[in-house]
Structure formats: C-alpha cells, structure tokens
Structure 1
Amino acid sequence: MNKTVSNCISLVLSICFLWIILPGICYARNIDKSTIDSLIEKNPNAAFVKIKQALNRALKQNDQKAAAICYEYLAGLFYHQAAYPQAVAYYYKADRIFRRTNDQQNLARNLNNTGEAYYYSKQYNISLIKFQEALSLYKQLSDQKGIADSYGLIGQTYEKSGKYTDAMKYQQLALSKYKTLKDQSGIAKIYENLGSIYEDRPLMDSALFYYTRALELNKLNRNDLAQIEIINNIGDVYRKTGRYQQALVYTKRAEQMSLSMNDLYQLSSAYRDLSKNYDLMKRYDSAYHYSELGRGISLKIYTEDNNKQLALLQTLFEVQQKDDAISQFENEKKANQLIIIAGVLITALLVSLAASIISRQRLKLRNEQKLNEQNKELHEIQKYNIEAELELKSKELTSNTLHVIQSNQFLDELKTELSDMIRDDKRDQKKRLQQIVSKINQSINHDRHWTEFSAMFEQIHQTFFDNLKKHSDDLTANDFRLVALIKMNLSSKDMALLFGISQDSLRVSRYRLRKKLNIPQGENLSTFIQTL
C-alpha cells in the first residue's frame, strides 16, 4: 500500500478520533474541538500547541487517561509529518500509562499505531512485535474489528520482509474477519493488499483481479482518495505486462484525480509512471517531460515536508523551553518558600544541636577520662600479673633445675659408690652392678627433664632462642641446653652434673660453642649470652 494514501487514511481516522473522543477529554479543559479538527490538517503547529496545553492541564490534574490520549495525538501529529522517532517517543509515553492503568483497549490501539511508525521507518522486526502484541490483546478482548486490523498490518509487514506466504496467510485471515463484519472499507483495503502481494511475486493477472475489486468497492464507498492509488497500481500492472496504451489510460486518470484533489504524493507517483510508460513506448520527449514534472513535484513535496517538520520541531522546542521556564519559575518560587522555612528550622536545629554537641562533648570527655583511668588500672593489673607469672615461672625453673642438679648429684655419688664395689673381687655381683651403673647414666641425661626445662625457659625468655639463631645456624640441641644454663648463671660444677660430664668436658663444650657463635677473642661467653 502506498505510504501517502496510508498517511491520508490515518489522518482522516485521527480527525474522526478527535471528533469522537476529544470532546470528553479536552473540551472540559476549554479546548475548541472544531479548532483542533481544522488545525490538525491545516496548521499542525497550532494543533501541537493546543494539544500540549490540554496535556499540561491533564498532568496537573493527574488525569492519566486524558494525558495518555493527548500523548497519542502528539504522536499522530509527528507521524503525519514523517517524524517517526518523535512519534514513537510519544506513543511510548501513552503506552506506559495504558499499561499502568490496565487500559487494554486503548493499549492495543496504541500498539498498532506504534507498529505503523516503526513500519514506515522500515524497522519491520519491531513493528511486527507491536502488531502481534496488539493482536493478542484484541483476541483477549474479543474485539473482531481490532483483530482484523491487526491481521492486515501483520500481513503488510511480512510482505515488506519478503515473506509472501505469511503475508498471504494474514491478509486472508483479515479478509475473512472483515467479511464477517461486513466492513466494506476493510475488505477494499485487504483486496488492495492482496493485489500488492501478487504484483510483488509477480502474478499480474491475480494482482489485476484484486486491484479491480478494491477499486469497485472504493467507488461504492465514495473513497476517492483510496481510488487514486489503486488506479495508479492498475496502470503499473498494465505497464509491467506490456499493455502500454491501457496503462496510459489508468495512469492519466490517476493524474487528473490527483490534480483535482491537489494530492501531490499521488500526482508525483502518476508522473513517474507516465515517464516510465512513455520510455517503454520509445516516446522519449514525453518520457523526459513527465520525468521532469515528477522530479519537480517530488522536490516540492520534499521541501514542504522538511519545512513542516522543521516548523513542528521548532514549535516543540519553543513550547518545551516555555514549559521549562514556567517549571523553573514555579520550582524557584517553591524553593524560596522552602528556603525561608528551612532557614527557621535550621536555626532552631543549630541551637538545639549546639547544646546537644556541648553536652555530648562533656559527657564524652568524662567517659574518656574514666575509660583511661580504667585502662590504666587494667594495664597495671596486667603488668603485675605478667611480672608475677614470670617470677613464678622463674622460681619453678630454678626449682626444677636445682631438683635436677640434686638428683644428678645423688646419682653421681651412687655411681661412684657402685664403681668402688665393682673394683672389689666379688665377681658374682659385678655384672648386676654394671647394669645398675648403666641405668643411672641413662637417668642422669633423660630427655624428659630437658623438654620440661626447655618449655619453661622459653616462657620466661620468649625471644632468646630466636636471637641466638641469628648468630649461628650450626647449633645442636646440647648447644642450646648449654646456652640456657649459662643464661641462668649456673656454676660449671652444676652444669657438668646436669650434663653428666666432667668439668674438663664442659670446658671443651664451652670452647666449641664460642667458635660456633663467632665470639671474638677476649670477650666473655657468659657476658655475651646475657646480652641476648
């Protein structure tokens, strides 16, 4: 279907829609309906201003339905100026309100309108989604006319996508619905759509059949606007099938009707078709003549459409600026009032806050002072406990060490006495006494005592062994034991008893320890260890 006729039909439907619905919505807000009807066609800018005023009142009164309808009219204005992005933006605003208020009837109609805006901007995938959603809603509402309209729109979209089987399926579904409803205008439109599908395939006899039937119905309905496009299409079919004289008859007829109705879109189409027809007939002068006429009309249409779009967009911009200025003024007025109120409240709050801060600060200082005193007391208690514990551990270590020394001293004396017995001539006791001496030697160096000693020593001197390891990596377990005993200031005699060795052997062990720790000559081993 030609876009011009579709736009014109949509314009007529919009005017009818304004005539039926606008009185109930906008007239109550002092909008003159007859003025709107006239401005829609003759002066879109003025129509925009009127509808925008109605929209502002609806929004101010929180009349959601009225606002949504006004959004639809604004979208329709931009749609008829081929400003499809702006049209879609307003359709979506209406869409959100219809969904929020669960107004399914208006939502379905708005979805089809949105789909058409996407259709003419050649976004067929999106338009198909909108038409299918509208169809689903109409089916839920059992709205047969809405179902038929949606079928037809879906069929058109599939045709533009080159899916002729699907296009034919939905046009046939639409035709069946319109016939059931006895909707002659709907039937005529579907006949035209079917003719277009057959012309695209191309099946020219079938296309001519459906175009002819559509023309007959539009004559009965006295729809002159729709007839022009169909007559042009019939001329195209005759031209494409080589019947140039018959094509000229129909195309010239379309030219005359376009001139009489001042329809520049159809006139431009007729001129282009006449140029093509004369070119195929090898009448090149006539072909050139009509080509230039068509180019001139197209340029005029393009210029007028651009001017209308620019004027409408300029009006939109100016109205938006005005609305923004009013909104800013009202906001500033409210803001000034709020500032005065806020100033009084803030002053009172500041006084109250200052008193509260001073009171809290004093309380905080008292609490901090009390907390510091408690922490100090706690620290002293902890310090005393640690010192007491260390002192206790030191005493335990000393006691343990003395116990070991006494045990070893006792064992050493016992060993000496037994050794003397072994030197006697009583051979029968010698073997048994040797066994006792061996056990005593084992008892003197038992690891359990050293394990207990080492654990207790590390509790008292926590980092001692770590510091010692920094001076040498070759220290043995006996070296660590010797260093620990030196740290405790034990005498050489006591240390020899603890190790179960002679004092000469102990001197050798101390000498080896000095070398491992790299202690310079002349520096005392005990002094060095005490400083660790």
Structure 2
Amino acid sequence: MRYFLKIMAVFSITLLLSGGEVMANADSLQRLISRSKSDTARIRLMNQLANTLISHDITQAKKLAEEAANLSIRLNYARGLSRSYETMGNISYFGNSYSNAIKLWKKSLLTSYLPSEYSRINQQIGNAYMQITRYDSALWHFIRAEKMLPQNTHPIERSYNLEYQSVALIKLNLKDSAVKVLENGIKILDDGIKNLPAGKTEYNKMLVQLASLQGQAANALFNGGKYTQATAYMHKAIAVLVILGDRDLLPLIYDDLGDIYQAIGNYDKAIENYYKALKIKEEKNDRLGVAGSYNNIAAIYFAQNSFPKAEELFRAAYIIHKEAGNKAGIAQLLNNLGEVQRSLKQYDSALKLYDAAIRINELMNNQLWTAINYQNKGETFMLKGDYDNALQNFNIALKFYRLTDNKNYLTNLNNSLGNYYLKKNDRILAKKYFTEALNDARNYHYPAEMKNAALGLSVISESEGDYRGALMLFKLYNAQSDTLLGVEMNRQMAEIQTRYELEKKENEITIQKEQINLLEKNEKINAIVLQAGLAALVFLVIIAYLLYSRQKSRSHAQINLADKNQEILKTRQALMEADLKNRDQEKLILNQELQQKNNHLINMALSLAHKNEFFGELKKGLKEIKSLHDDDKEKRLNDLLLKIGQQTRITKELERLQAEIEEANATFFKKLNQICPEMTENERQLSALLRINLSSKEIASLNNITTKAVEMSRYRLRKKLNIEGNNTLTDFLQDL
C-alpha cells in the first residue's frame, strides 16, 4: 500500500512563533529565572521556558523540565511536579512519542487539583490517543475533559472539546453520534451568538468556530455516506467565512471540500476547491500553506497517473519547505517524490529519496513517518526482486510501527510481510503475518486490509489442502470486495445525486436572486433617477471646476518651467564656453613649453655637433704636424692647444644633453619601452634625437660616427618598431 503524507497544520501545545520571537521570549524567561529568589517561581518559569523552546531546542527543553521536576520533588511541591510532568509530556508529544506523552500526562493528573488543568490535560491525553489510533480511549478522555469544564466556560472552549469528541466518534465509525455531538456544539454557539451584538470581535470569533463545526459536521456526514448533507454543511461554513472576510479558516474548509470531492473521484471539483484554497494562501503569503495546496493537487495528478505533473508540484512544495527550514515538510515531500519515482519504475532514485527522508525523520524522532519510509523501501526492493533487502526494511518498519502502536499502518505492513513470505514459499511465517493482519483488520474495521489478509490466507489454506478453510476465507475476501465495491458505488451514486441537487439549488438561488433584484429595481427606480440627476449635476460642476483649476495650474507651471529651462540653457552654454577657453589656454601653454624644450635640445645638439667637428679638425691637424719642421710644429701645436682649451667642456655638455633628453622625454621613453622592451640604450637615444627632428648628419656629428652608421641604425630601429608603408620613422616617433 502506498502512503501519501498530507501536509497538515497541527495546532497543539506549542505557540507558533518565529525563531526570533522564540529566542527573545527564551532570553527574557532565562533572565527572570536567574533573578528569581523563590524556588516555586523558578519551577514555574523553567516550565514556561521549556514549553517555549520545544519547537527550537527540544534537548534543552527536556533538560529544563526534568530539572523543574527534580526540584519539585525535593520541595514536595505537588503543583510544580504536575506542571513539570505536563511539560515533559508536551515534549514527548512534539517528538511523536505519543505513548510516553500519555504516561507523563497521566502522572500530571495524579497531582493536579484545579478543574481547568484537569480538563486541559485530559484533552491532551485524548489527542495523543488519537495519534496512535486508540480512538475509544481518546473519546473517553475527551468526555472526562468536558465534564470537568467549569460552568462559566466560554462557548468557544466548550465547542472545541465537542469537536474533538466528534473526530474520535468518526474514527470509531459512529458517524451519526459524531453529527449529534457537533450539532450540540453548533447550538451552544448559536445561543452564545444571540446574546452578543453583531460585528464585535467575540461575535466574529464565535462565527468562525461555528463555521469550523459546520465543516467538521460535513466531514462526519461524508464519512457516513451522506454526501448531499455534507456538501450543504460545507457551503454553509464557506458562506459564513466569506461574509466575515475570514482568510484563516476559509482555505482549510476549501481543502476539506476538495478532500471530499477527491474521495468520491470528482477530481475536477477537488482541484477547483484546492485552487481556491491556494489563491487565498498566496494572497496571505502563507508559503507553507501554498506548499500544502501543491501537495494536495499533486496527489490528484498522481491518482490520475499524471506522474510528471505530480512530480513538478511535489518539487515546488519541497522547495518551499526547504527555504522555510521545515524539516517535517521536507521529509514528507521526499517520501512523496519517492512514490512518484517508484511508479515510474525508477527504483534506485526512489530508494535515494526514501533514505533522505529517513535521515530527517530519525533526526526528528518521527517514528511513524520513519516506519512509513522503511516500508516504502521494502515495497521498492520487492519490485526490484531484492527480497533480502525488502525483508530487512520491513522488519525495521515493523519495529517502529510497534513503538507508535498505530494499528492501521501495522496491519498493512503485516499484509506486506505475509506477501513477502508467501513469495519465499515460507507458508508458516506468511500465515502468521496474514492472521495478525486479519485479526487487527476485524477489530479496527479496516475492510481493505481484511480483504488482502483473507486472500493471502485462502491461498495458503489451498496449498495445504485445507479446501474448506480456503473456501471460507475466499468467501470473506469476496464479501470485503463487495463491501468496498458497494461503498464505491454508493459514493459514485451520491456524487451524481449531489451534482444534480447542487445544480438544482444553484438554479433556484439564481431565480430567487433575479426576483429580488427585480423588486428592488421597481421600488428604487424613482429614487435612483432623482439621485442620478442630482449626482450628474454635482459631478459636472466638480468636473468643470477641476478642469479650470488644472488648466490654470498647468499654464503657470509651463511658464515657470520654460523660464527655468532658459536659465539652465544659458548657464550650461556659459560653462561650456569657459571650459573650452580653459582647455585651449592649457593646450597653448603646454605646446609652448614643449617647443622651448625641443629648441633647447636642438641648440645643445647642434653645439655638440660643432664641437665634434672641431675634434675632427684637431685630429687632422695632429696628422699634419708629423710632416712639418720643428719651428712650424711648435707654432702649430700652440694653435691646437689654444683651441683645445676652448673646447675642454665637451664631455660635460654631452652628459648634460643626455640628462636633459631623459628628463624631457620620460613619458616618451616609457611608451617606447612598452612597444619594444628589447630596445638598446643607443637605440633609445637615437629615437629621442630623431624625435626632435635632427638629421642623420647632425646625429653622426653629435655621436662622432659616420652618417652611414646613423642610416644603418635608423634602418634597424624601423624594423624593430614594425613601421610599414609610407610612414617615416621621425613622424612615427613624434606621434608617439
């Protein structure tokens, strides 16, 4: 059997607070505990803090509750011990340890003496019994809780208890009794509403609770096969909530109505109501509620074998729960996604999803959902033909089901184990598990499980030669099949009848509305004409005044805007002209400075070239001295010495020229180095001299080399710089 875990909002013993609110309350209580000088006050505060922390730090909550209990025992403080046991029960309930919660709450009852506390704890015990499907015990405690309610209990509080009783009665198949209990609750609320003025907060709260009981009555009638009455109650509840503008209970009622339509196979109506609920949740920005609606709609697509669409919606719900950090919701959606993968025969993917759900549920100590995950794994291994792993997972699921004492799921698992051992040809164990399933199905009224168990035992009896027993069991199987078929046929017939009656009522309502509208029109037509004429006149006057005022304001505004735009335009134009003048002035100054530097460099270079020519002449004169007579030699030497004295500063001036070239062309050399990093120092100096427009002859004279050598250097430099086309080397360097 497949289990889809419906996302439900369960409001029980803990307040629904955000993480920030919880920690703020916890800090406040912690400070009060540390300041408290009274032990009894400390016990009360520790229990309050433990209840606050349940949903966020269950380990710390448990530690505080146990500490409060121990302190109460030392002080012999009965009321403190009662509160501590109640808190410890709350913690166990939140952790899904329902049996342990019941034990602790019963201990709390032993030391409780206030009727209101006694009633509240009995109601909580009833809720826990409901979780483990002990509906008779739950009902007993709900009735005890009602009897202990004080006489002045508010009608809403009293109706809550009756609502819980009705749920237990429905589970016990006592639908008519459940409806009577709910109608009693509806009467109590009706009587209370009569004594209150309409529109008050308390009045509205009682109407909301009235709608809640009507919705619950609809569920009871539906489970009893009375579909027309069920839908009528649902529509009553919806009408009340729509009038009140309620946005909290209304989507839940729409969900319940969708559940009814889904159960009778009217998937169109079911989806229609689920989408109504979804729309309200989206408007409220209730993200977890939206995820619940996605889950409901996906279940319908799954039932119709539309697995891709179901998977899409399950994944959308999963993302919301993951963003919210809701571990329980994440685990449930992982299980549902696993079911989709199993249906698509993607068994390995399904197993991974079940394992992910198990890790979360085990961490949260969710024993029931952990068991469901393991059972689904076992069913998947069975489909794969891996019987050893199937048995291993079934046994783990069995252990958890026994801890939760959930008879419905346990009965289903016993049938699965029976089928497993039947396939393994182990008739003894198969018979054992089928028999357990059959007994539980009879005791707790599970016709589908009774049918499966009877069929399995019939097959075993036949294989053992017990044909009489096999025949009896097969008759039981057929009887349950007929029961289920009859239920389904009744539902289908009821659905047709419900559709017909709903359409009939809708038509009657439409006719009545038309008649009412016609009467109202006839009665009000004269007044409407008069009011309309007066309203039209007033309207025209107002429109004329508004148009005049608007036109006047617009004219003033346009004039002011035009003046401002003209001023802005003039200011911008003046700024632009000033900016252009500044830029031209700066450019002129820079060009003048550059020209002065270049002229200075040229003059120095020419002076040095002249001096180099002098040394050439000096060299030539020295050669001539060799061929002169002594008197002429001396005279010639004196002339040369005089000229040498005039030219002694040639080296310093050359160094100075090089320094000034480096300084004037620092940026130029930096760019040149980026273009050609492998350039030599001589080539850099040649580039600088060419940049100031010196000729090859002047450069040769300056460096005391031949003009041909300068031309060769210029050629190599041009190659290094990759200068092609008609561009000259000098133009290239000056542009750089």
TM superposition score category, shorter chain reference: 0.5 to 0.7
CA RMSD of aligned residues (A): 3.7
Instruction: Give deviations 1:462-488, integer Å, cap 9, x for gaps.
Output: xxxxxxxxxxxxxxxxxxxxxxxxxxx
Given candidates 458, 463, 483, the residue that maps to 1:275 is 458
Structure 2 equivalent of residue 136 of structure 1:
319
Given candidates 433, 439, 444, the residue that maps to 1:256 is 439
CA drift of 1:318 comes to: 2.1
Given candidates 126, 129, 137, the residue that maps to 2:309 is 126
2:2/2:339 contact within 8 Å kept? no
CA drift of 1:154 comes to: 0.5
1:118/1:124 contact within 8 Å kept? yes
Show structure 1 runs of 5+ residues with no match.
351-532
Residue 295 (structure 2) pairs with residue 112 (structure 1): yes
Instruction: Rate the CA distance shift 1:141–1:163 in 2: closer, same or farther, 3 A.
Output: same
Given candidates 402, 414, 422, the residue that maps to 1:239 is 422
CA drift of 1:133 comes to: 1.1
CA drift of 1:222 comes to: 1.1
Structure 2 equivalent of residue 155 of structure 1:
338
Structure 2 letter corresponding to 1:246: L
Provide the secondary structure at the position in 2 that maps to 1:31.
helix
Residue 351 (structure 2) pairs with residue 168 (structure 1): yes
1:279/1:287 contact within 8 Å kept? yes
Structure 1 equivalent of residue 387 of structure 2:
204
In 1, Cα distance between equivalents of 2:492 and 2:311: 26
CA drift of 1:236 comes to: 0.5
Structure 1 equivalent of residue 88 of structure 2:
none
1:55/1:66 contact within 8 Å kept? no
1:236/1:273 contact within 8 Å kept? yes
Provide the secondary structure at the position in 1 that maps to 2:239.
helix
In 2, Cα distance between equivalents of 1:142 and 1:151: 14
Alignment of 1:32-111 (within 5 A): 35=217, 38-39=220-221, 41-42=223-224, 45=227, 46-111=229-294
Instruction: Give deviations 1:179-212, integer Å, cap 9, x for gaps.
Output: 1211111111111111111111111111111111
Instruction: Rate the CA distance shift 1:295–1:122 in 2: closer, same or farther, 3 A.
Output: farther
Given candidates 260, 266, 282, the residue that maps to 2:449 is 266
Instruction: Give deviations 1:376-429, integer Å, cap 9, x for gaps.
Output: xxxxxxxxxxxxxxxxxxxxxxxxxxxxxxxxxxxxxxxxxxxxxxxxxxxxxx
In 1, Cα distance between equivalents of 2:233 and 2:530: 47
Aligned length: 347
Provide the secondary structure at the position in 1 that maps to 2:213.
coil
Instruction: Give deviations 1:224-267, integer Å, cap 9, x for gaps.
Output: 11110000000100011111222112112211211112211111
Instruction: Give deviations 1:310-345, integer Å, cap 9, x for gaps.
Output: 225523542453244234413431244235545776
Show structure 2 runs of 5+ residues with no match.
10-129, 139-159, 168-181, 183-204, 534-736
Given candidates 185, 208, 211, the residue that maps to 2:368 is 185
Structure 2 letter corresponding to 1:295: N
1:44/1:312 contact within 8 Å kept? no
CA drift of 1:87 comes to: 2.2
In 1, Cα distance between equivalents of 2:465 and 2:387: 23
Structure 1 equivalent of residue 497 of structure 2:
314
CA drift of 1:286 comes to: 4.4
1:69/1:94 contact within 8 Å kept? yes
In 2, Cα distance between equivalents of 1:209 and 1:307: 41
Structure 1 equivalent of residue 209 of structure 2:
27
In 1, Cα distance between equivalents of 2:434 and 2:206: 44
Higher relative contact order by CA 8 Å / sep ≥ 6: 1 or 2? 1
2:214/2:234 contact within 8 Å kept? no
In 1, Cα distance between equivalents of 2:430 and 2:457: 9
Structure 1 or 2, whichever has the larger Rg, is: 1
Instruction: Rate the CA distance shift 1:208–1:330 in 2: closer, same or farther, 3 A.
Output: same
Structure 1 equivalent of residue 406 of structure 2:
223
1:144/1:177 contact within 8 Å kept? yes
CA drift of 1:89 comes to: 2.6
Structure 2 letter corresponding to 1:270: A
In 2, Cα distance between equivalents of 1:229 and 1:83: 27
1:25/1:66 contact within 8 Å kept? no
1:192/1:230 contact within 8 Å kept? yes
The percent of aligned pairs where both chains have the same amino acid is 19
In 2, Cα distance between equivalents of 1:276 and 1:94: 47
Query: What TM-score does the superposition give when structure 1 sets the normalisation length?
Result: 0.58
1:251/1:273 contact within 8 Å kept? yes
Instruction: Give deviations 1:447-501, integer Å, cap 9, x for gaps.
Output: xxxxxxxxxxxxxxxxxxxxxxxxxxxxxxxxxxxxxxxxxxxxxxxxxxxxxxx
CA drift of 1:90 comes to: 1.8
Query: What TM-score does the superposition give when structure 2 sets the normalisation length?
Result: 0.43
